[in-house]
A and B are shown apart, each in its own frame.
Chain A
Amino acid sequence: MDAGRPHATHVLVRNGRFLAVGTADDLAGFGNVKSDDRFADSILMPGFVEGHTHMDSGNIWQMVYTGTFERTDPDGRHWPGLSDMDSVLDRLAAHRSNDPETVLLAWGFDPLLLGVSLTRADLDKVSDSQPIVVWHASGHIIVANTVAMQKANMFPPRIAHPGIPLGDDGLPIGELRGIETMVPTAMALGILNRFMSRDGSGARPFSRMCVRAGVTTATDLANAMTDQALSNLLEITARDDFPIRLVPALMDEQLSAEGLVAKASLLRSQSTEKLRMGAIKMIVDGSIQGFTARLLPPGYYNGAEKGLWYLAPERLGDVYTQAMASGIQVNTHTNGDEATDLALQCLQKAVNANPPSDHRFIFQHAQLANPDQFRRMKSLGACVNLFANHLYYWGDAHVAHTVGPARAALMNNCRAALDAGVPLAIHCDEPVTPMAPLFTAWCAVNRQSGSGKVLGAGQRISVGEALHAITLGAAHTMKLENEIGSIAPGKFADMAVLDSDPLAVPPFDLRHIKVQGTMLGGMFFDARTI
């Protein structure tokens, strides 16, 4: 996949790295080589690079999936999407037990897409003895049945609270909205740890999902990198049978800017070939579908409030300035265009305060970034990782509720980013949407919503551009382009094994290409048996 030689028939691997690539003749000069024709009928691509995923998604499957779109869990088990309330309740019923001590936990329920909300009464039909808690896909709301609410002392209602909406009967409808109502409930039910685990135990199931998606390098944005997580990750990733290179980004809101950069520097020095540490993650605003992203005027289509700030500009500016001085890369979550504006302003100050450097700070999501903002990213030396999957999974909701049709057609504008010359990656944010870089590429190429609506045909990119964005492009944003991202002598022998050629199939069929497995450092991992 080097620009001047995009195709080859043979590749030579030694000690986990590519030695040569080309024709059989090109490789003849290396003398006696062992031939391996396992992939004679397959297409080998550089291993896919996922720049925005969450390792804990490996653990989320301990809960029951109730989303609208089909998904596959780490064991390869297929979960069909649920398109109406009856099928949601049926699936919950299939997983209930009679043990009143065990909370039945589910995730991924999306009222925006289903067009109907789930209530306490619905869940009571599933069980009136076992506590049930269902987590909305947005992550900002949970729904509980009566037993669960009683156990959490939220039923009958003791106080009026906007996060505990009441029905016409004056009783809670079952939704608990916002972190301030969710946390006390989760704590009282003893399920808080099941919502968020940060010990590195998700790495192994997560890596199996990567193999099925053809991913050989994946990020974990964000990780608190406790001592326990670090030692677990060093141990897990060092094993030969661990099939990916993991790139965690440090997030710790308790640490000062100095402390954060110092910790990132220390982590960087402990990196290995399969555990690349040293980056930092910062979160500026919330999510668009949760109406917590910060939007510039005219704001939300449905008139929702302006969204939330998750950090102060002074904090972001301090971290930027000090990280840049120490050569530490910063990933910045912005969703709304106002949040992107603020981060650009902070980045400008950091650039002014430091000598020129190849910092490549990454804007993560930046879903509403406009062409002017992409040009500022370019001039400031930043990269962008756009959330192409959103066009498919929430595209219809964006048209109807969040930003309306005009702006939905300009979301995740890969065309404008490339035209401005910003290094581009595209991502899935697993578990927010399923990991499958070829599907992500399909989204950027076709810009089609779940219902089949095209959102901004003018913002499409070519298949070649999209494939670059999930390989060398993403590697470049992560400053790993010298080691991964293309099949080139000296780089790690990381490849995705496919059943057909993405450049040969019609662009609309990209999503149907099958991943047979991956090769990491020359070792094959079979998607069927992982």
Chain B
Amino acid sequence: MAIGQMPSLPVTVLAGFLGAGKTTLLNHFLKTARGRRLGVIVNDFGRINIDVDLIETANERIIQLSGGCVCCRMDGNFASALMELRDRGIKLDHVLVEASGVALPGPIARAVPLIEGFHTAMVITIVDIETISARLTDRFMGDLVGSQCASAQVIIANKSDLIGDTLRKLIIDQLTQSFEKAMILSTTAGQVDASILDLDIAGLNITDTSAWSPPISADALFTSWIWSCTDPIHVERLGNALAETGHGLLRVKGFMQDIRLGPVLLQIVGRHVQIATLNSPLSGNGDQISYNRLICIAEKSVKDLGHWAELEKRFGLVRSL
């Protein structure tokens, strides 16, 4: 997001070759949305699980579900679908664009900000761990699949139950080496929760995995929570403290009131801390921004959240889920 402008809606591009599990993942995102209003733009409604009881309104192109999620059929191009969602004034928190199996996600991700009101959150490319090595060296499609992975900030190695531990580790290592800027997750049956969408990292231009601290374990599942506070704090100190602790904290993002700088945007990815001052006052619709509210994402394996207690006390943070 450009600092000083109105917040725009994050768009995640979901790529992956035929049969990798894009639809399963989308269905899982919808199931685990937990209050996030997701707009899902798909090639066809056929394979998306839409519980008829949840349908509020539907037309040929858009199905609105209770709980705020919306499914939209692409009908040729994602740009017109995004514009339609925007122009209908549907309130959303995140939009997912399902790219076709042979689409290159890079050009789509680059085109998203051409449409007013949206920015690119990330490219997620899902691959079938059993076939990815063969796909990447396929005589015809190898360069296409390689490009799908190279554009991704997150690569999900799906169907990891289909192969043994040794082979899985080998393939994940290969993916990690080949696609340095991506975070590699492995999962079975597309079971990655929607909280991963809060990563919203494309704009940060992460170029190497050293930003990801600690390294992501296989079968990574996520948990997310919100820290809020009432008074302005020393944002830089908080950021450094959070980045130093590790403890499976992947991503922190939120608008804060800094005691010295005033309104800032704090972003943490692994050990990277970025604090940007908001140089023009957010007038008019500025009420859309909630200050002193940090969205945090961590590995679910971090069961003991007790070590945050001292930090919460020091900075006056209240945790809510």
A interface residue numbers (CB < 8 A to B): 153-154, 158-159, 161-164, 178-181, 183-184, 187, 192, 253-254, 256, 294, 306, 308-315, 338, 341-342
Contact = CB atoms under 8 A, between A and B. Distances in A.
Given A192-B80, A254-B43, A313 B140 contact: yes
A184 B18 contact: no
A187 B110 contact: no
9 closest residue pairs by CB, A with B: A180-B111, A312-B18, A183-B79, A159-B113, A254-B44, A184-B79, A309-B102, A183-B77, A312-B101
Contacts of B18: 312, 314-315
Contacts of A164: 114
Given A187-B83, A314-B18, A306 B44 contact: no
Contacts of B113: 158-159, 161
B46 interface: yes
B116 interface: yes
Contact of B17 (A179, A183, A310, A312): A312
B84 to A, nearest CB: 10
Contacts of A162: 110
A164 B80 CA distance: 19
Interface in B73-95: 77, 79-80, 83
Given A192-B80, A312-B18, 12 more contacts: A158-B113, A158-B116, A161-B111, A161-B113, A183-B79, A184-B79, A184-B111, A184-B115, A311-B102, A312-B101, A314-B19, A315-B18
A520 to B, nearest CB: 34
B83 to A, nearest CB: 6
Nearest to B107: A180
Contacts, number: 66
Nearest to A162: B110
8 contacts: A161-B110, A161-B111, A163-B111, A180-B79, A181-B111, A184-B114, A254-B43, A306-B143
Nearest to A196: B76
Interface of B: 17-19, 43-44, 46, 77, 79-80, 83, 100-102, 104, 107-108, 110-111, 113-116, 140-141, 143-144
B77 A179 contact: yes
A178 B111 CA distance: 10
A338 B19 CA distance: 23
B114 A159 contact: yes
B19 to A, nearest CB: 7
A338 B140 contact: yes
Contacts of A313: 140-141
B172 to A, nearest CB: 24
B65 to A, nearest CB: 21
B140 A153 contact: no
Contacts of A312: 17-18, 101-102, 141
The winner among A161, A309, A314 for most chain B CB atoms within 10 A is: A309
Contacts of B108: 180
A181 B108 CA distance: 10
A159 B113 CA distance: 7
B127 to A, nearest CB: 14
B235 to A, nearest CB: 27
B114 A181 contact: yes
Contacts of B83: 184, 187
A315 B101 contact: yes
Contacts of B114: 154, 158-159, 161, 164, 180-181, 184
B79 A256 contact: no
Contact of A309 (B19, B116, B141): B141
B140 A178 contact: no
A354 B17 CA distance: 27
Contacts of B115: 184
Contacts of A159: 113-114
B116 A178 contact: no
Contact of A310 (B43, B79, B102, B107): B102
Contacts of A161: 110-111, 113-114
Contacts of A184: 79, 83, 111, 114-115
A183 B80 contact: yes
Contacts of A309: 102, 140-141, 144
A492 B314 CA distance: 91
A184 B77 CA distance: 10
